Amino acid sequence: MSEDIKRVVKEAFSKSKESYVQSSTHKSQSDLDLITEWLEPENKWQALDIATGGGHVAKTLSRSVGTVFATDLTKDMLQNTARHLKEQHNIYYIVADAEELPFLDESFDVITCRIAPHHFPSPSKFIEETHRVLKPDGRFLMIDNVAPEDEQLDNFYNTFEKKRDPSHVRALKISEWQNYLEKHNLTINKQLSRKKRLPFREWVTRILSATEEHQAVEILMRQAPNTFKTYFSITEKEDCIESFSIDEWMVLAQKDS
């Protein structure tokens, strides 16, 4: 099952590689500035950006650290990102699985992963591998969409994400991520929960190209109970979904020395 999921992920991101480079959500400068502020990077550091996608975090880190290794499961995505970041000479690109990292133990001073873990079949294995390749006292910063703690809201959120994106596995609850970090001896130093507003049209067309597929996602959201619409701040204009909000979690953790 895990390999089937990863095949779907590679197919999906090969098709949408350019849209992730251009995505306003992924290019968000406020996000990237906050990463730098939290990490306080040093020029001698060796950094790893897991599931780099459009390379926005790798590019940001490359200005402040010695070397960045940008990994992604999808070769086409990685090649496209490398072309966009050709002026950054300290980024090295490696096709790699977040759950089976091809690096020696204790290799990196800092590891980042942004808006990607909801595509991973085994989040626990991802955190285990992150801990393994991180140096003692090394820093791990993750940002991802998260599910509400309420089961019904969780199910609804993951259902409409999966309907829009076949490569979506599951957005975890914050409590689940906290348990994984604790299990693998990564101590949380700082965390931030916030709402992220998404323009529906840009969000849905980043993955889906067929009009009937867009409509299926839109119908699901428009027919949701009012309590769900309120939680996700679903707004409509002229009988169309205009925008909605989801939960995002940013966490900075440290490996025990």
Chain segment 52-69, per-residue pLDDT in tens? 999 999 999 999 999 999
Residue 156 reports pLDDT greater than 50:
yes
Q: Where would I find the beta strands (DSSP E) of 32-152? A: 46-49, 67-72, 91-95, 108-114, 134-146
Task: Give the amino acid at 203.
Answer: W
State how far Cα 35 lies from the chain centre.
13
Chain segment 180-197, per-residue pLDDT in tens? 999 999 999 999 999 999
The per-residue pLDDT for 63 is 96
- The Cα 34–Cα 41 span in angstroms is 12
| Burial profile 50-86: b = 16 or more Cβ within 10 angstroms, e = fewer | bbbbbbbbbbbbbebbebbbbbbbbebbbebbbebbe
CA dist 229 → 150, 206, 212 (Å): 14, 22, 22
- The Cα 88–Cα 90 span in angstroms is 6
Residue 157, classified by CB atoms within 10 Å of its CB into exposed (0-12), middle (13-18) or buried (19+), is buried
DSSP assignment letter at 127: H
Chain segment 80-104, per-residue pLDDT in tens? 999 989 999 999 999 999 999 999 9
User: What domains lie within the chain, and their CATH numbers?
Assistant: 2-150+164-198+247-255 (3.40.50.150)
